[in-house]
Amino acid sequence: MSMYEIEALIENTVRVIDRSNEPDHEKRNLIWNAYTIQNSFDCSFTNFRVIDILLNVNYVQTYNVQDFPLYKEHKDFFDQLNAKNFEWINKVPNEKWSDDNESVAYWDKKSNKIYVDYNSDFYTLFPNEKSNEIAPLDFGLLIIEKSNLQKDKANIYDWTAFMILYLLGWFPSEKTVEELKQNYFIPIKNILHHYNYDDYTPLHRGMDLKVKNDWISDIQKELLEFIKEK
């Protein structure tokens, strides 16, 4: 089952990035990092939820079907697209997806366009621009800081919960709990406690800082108690 709470978190994060004062090239890199995190979990494809933003900052490039570089070699495949609503396009389009034949683009019936994402094989808008991967916890702190500048208390709460209850569970850190506090959770706590969350409803029960979680690690439990202390 798709982890809809993470999908919603990343959608909100893309909106925070879009509202920020960062130049477009940095917005593209931050959005790429957001989707890299989403793709680490069992999530659905969600680009079309924010496609206007992705197009506006040139995170997504579009092609007319007949202009796509693979069209001439695989004309039969592309000419049959209109019988579908959506289609992934692999490196070898008429063969099934595999580790050696990954998806490089996607097509949507409504627009009848082929879309390619930033940093992918057929993205040519900024050929000299490369993504810079940000460690997930560093990215989380950065997004919380940007959310604070925008007074987006919901995204602050949700990212705090996601970092403690999801990221540190799926991707345990080699840092000690004290290092995690100093590097991330003291500054996050200082931001979090500027806002009142008495009536806040988290994205998901699993992202509720008030719920007791027996299944999390000792480090997660300590950070959870630390972040809640006034």
Do 112 and 158 lie in one domain? The reply is: no
CA distance 187 to 182: 8
- The strand pair at 86-90 and 103-108 is best described as antiparallel
Do 153 and 138 lie in one domain? The reply is: yes
Range of the domain at 43: 1-58+128-230
CA distance 155 to 172: 22
Do 88 and 30 lie in one domain? The reply is: no
Do 83 and 16 lie in one domain? The reply is: no
Do 146 and 171 lie in one domain? The reply is: yes
Torsions phi, psi for 63 (to 5 deg): -130, 145
Average pLDDT of the chain?
96
Which of 125, 140, 172 represents a domain boundary (last residue)? Answer: 125
75-113 per-position pLDDT tens digit:
999 999 999 999 999 999 999 999 999 999 999 999 999
For residues 222 and 175, the answer to whether their CB atoms sit within 8 Å is: no
Q: What is the arithmetic mean of pLDDT over 64-83?
A: 97
% of the chain beyond a pLDDT of 70: 100
Do 158 and 189 lie in one domain? The reply is: yes
**Burial 31-68, CB ≥16 within 10 A → b, else e:** bbbbbbbbeeeebeebbebbbebbeebbbbbebeeeeb
Helices (H), the chain: 4-19, 24-38, 51-56, 75-79, 136-149, 153-162, 168-170, 177-180, 186-192, 218-228
142-180 per-position pLDDT tens digit:
999 999 999 999 999 999 999 999 999 999 999 999 999
For residues 224 and 164, the answer to whether their CB atoms sit within 8 Å is: yes
pLDDT at 1 over 90: no
